[in-house]
């Protein structure tokens, strides 16, 4: 298992590049309503607890950046996805909190 970590500035570059990956939010719906990362490209909200049942909504061949509040749930999801055969999956280190501090201060902190 590789468990690739992307610091927020590197994740920003990855998400706004030529072929942006899927941005997968594994927080709860109330968290997504409170704050979200706004970048072009495909985004999806699948709470961590629902992911095993909704795995078929994701393409194992697609590059994915996973995030949560502080990066702990998303790290577990990255490990899970790697075990399911996903080869290009990354954790946003520090989660949306790090994104707000290091990339976009307009994203509310909670």
Domains, the chain, with CATH or none: 4-57+66-102 (3.40.250.10)
Dihedral of the alpha carbons of 30, 34, 37, 39, in degrees to the nearest 10: 100
Q: Is 68 a catalytic residue?
A: yes
How far is residue 85 from each of residues 21, 39, 60, 79, measured CA to CA in Å? Answer: 16, 26, 6, 10
CA 4 to chain CA centroid, Å, is: 12
What's the confidence (pLDDT) of residue 15?
96
Q: Which of 26, 64, 68, 75 is labelled catalytic?
A: 68
What's the confidence (pLDDT) of residue 2?
61
Percent of the chain with pLDDT over 90: 97
Residues pairing with 22 in the sheet: 64
pTM: 0.95
Q: What is the mean pLDDT of the chain?
A: 95
């Amino acid at each position: 298992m590789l468990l690739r970590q992307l610091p927020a500035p590197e994740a920003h570059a990855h998400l706004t590049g030529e072929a942006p990956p899927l941005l997968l939010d594994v927080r709860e719906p109330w968290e997504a309503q409170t704050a979200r990362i706004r970048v072009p490209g495909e985004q999806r909200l699948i709470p961590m607890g629902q992911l095993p049942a909704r795995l078929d909504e994701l393409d194992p061949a697609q590059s994915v950046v996973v995030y949560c509040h502080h990066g702990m749930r998303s790290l577990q999801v990255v490990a899970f996805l790697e075990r399911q055969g996903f080869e290009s999956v990354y954790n946003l280190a520090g989660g949306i909190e790090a994104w707000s501090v290091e990339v976009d201060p307009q994203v509310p902190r909670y």
